[in-house]
Amino acid sequence: MSETKVGHVAIIGRPNVGKSTLLNYLVGEKLAGTSAKPQTTRDVVRGILTIPDGAVVQSPYRGQIVFLDTPGVHQPKDALGEGMVRDVHQSLSDADLLFWMVYPKAMGDAERAILKWIQDVSIPVFLLVNQIDRFPKDDLLLALDSFQKAYAFKEFIPISAKTGENVKTLIQQTLEYLPQGEFIYPEDQLSDQNVRFHVQEMIREKLYHFLGEELPYDGAVRIDDFKEEERITRIHATIVIERDSQKAIVIGKGGEKIKQIGMAARLDIERFLGKKVFLELWCKAVPGWKSHPGFLRESQQH
């Protein structure tokens, strides 16, 4: 049997660059919510990739990699934002390797902030230039040139998180740098976070999809009840918003909107759980919840 590499890899970068899209591609399951809006990810999402002997990836190693998809690095405006940025910091210290994901563009404020953080880390850092399917090659070369001068990256890897271009190379290189170890999780396990957390993420993603610009970042999801029966899982969840006036937007005419959100979320959850799901959604205004976001997490810890 070949040598086994095991470790944690944090994926960091500015909002909207494609971190969650990459996590999902790597683990082959929609674990993290993705959307065209910045700051979609609010809590670190953990996904596990197991590479058994003789896997499609050309590597002398077997491996088990836990990827930490983190919230986008931004200037926080409230307690929620502060917590998000703190979580990114924390994940740096939990990781054996860092993927810093950037656009094929020159550095901006978010990149300069990240550059400061990584001055003190001792783990290897890969620069992933994402979205190469969408940008001209010249942009990629300019970005490489500007980032190369700024930091001693172990690897530069241009990728497309969407099409998967170069992702195999990325996995091969990652295995090279991770420490030796034994598998921690069963080979088919995709995450070590609890099911409620993932369910909450799946519902929240649909809020972003169905509410478009109407409800920018004020929505959250709380799981109130989660009962697994033999044939069906029954879930009650509340969409938490800031203001009463937003209720009409979430619920929609004759309840159409919340029904659409619920149906789409249910399909994702059923696929994820491999089981039939009954999902009931409520909507509630909790003014100022972003100043005390902790109450949302309580429900995810069971």
Query: Residues interacting with ligand GTP, by CB under 6 A?
Result: 13, 15-21, 34-36, 38-41, 71-72, 130-131, 133-134, 160-162
| 61-120 binders of Mg ion (CB under 5 A) | none
Number of residues that bind Mg ion (CB under 5 A): 4
Pick from 24, 41, 174, 300 the residue near Mg ion by CB under 5 A.
Answer: 41
If the CB atoms of residues 66 and 251 are measured against Mg ion, the closer one turns out to be 66
If the CB atoms of residues 11 and 97 are measured against Mg ion, the closer one turns out to be 11
Q: Return the one option of Mg ion, ligand GTP, none that residue 299 interacts with (CB less than 5 to 8 A, by type).
A: none
Rounded to whole angstroms, the Cα distance separating 163 from 60 reads 25
Q: Return the one option of Mg ion, ligand GTP, none that residue 130 interacts with (CB less than 5 to 8 A, by type).
A: ligand GTP
CB 26 to Mg ion: min, Å: 13
If the CB atoms of residues 59 and 131 are measured against ligand GTP, the closer one turns out to be 131
Q: How far apart are the first and last CA of the chain?
A: 38
- Reported as type and span, the H/E element at residue 158 is strand 155-158
Measuring CA to CA, which residue among 114, 88, 87 is closest to residue 102? Answer: 114
Three-class SS state of 82? helix
If the CB atoms of residues 218 and 284 are measured against ligand GTP, the closer one turns out to be 218
State how far the alpha carbon of 57 is from the alpha carbons of 124, 127, 167, in Å.
Answer: 21, 20, 10
Rounded to whole angstroms, the Cα distance separating 98 from 91 reads 9
If the CB atoms of residues 133 and 145 are measured against ligand GTP, the closer one turns out to be 133
Q: Return the one option of ligand GTP, Mg ion, none that residue 134 interacts with (CB less than 5 to 8 A, by type).
A: ligand GTP
Side chain identity at residue 166, one-letter code: N
Rounded to whole angstroms, the Cα distance separating 70 from 187 reads 23
Q: Return the one option of Mg ion, ligand GTP, none that residue 35 interacts with (CB less than 5 to 8 A, by type).
A: ligand GTP
Contacts of 283 (CB under 8 A, 6+ apart): 238, 239, 241, 247, 250, 251, 258
**Interface residue list for Mg ion (CB under 5 A):** 19-20, 40-41
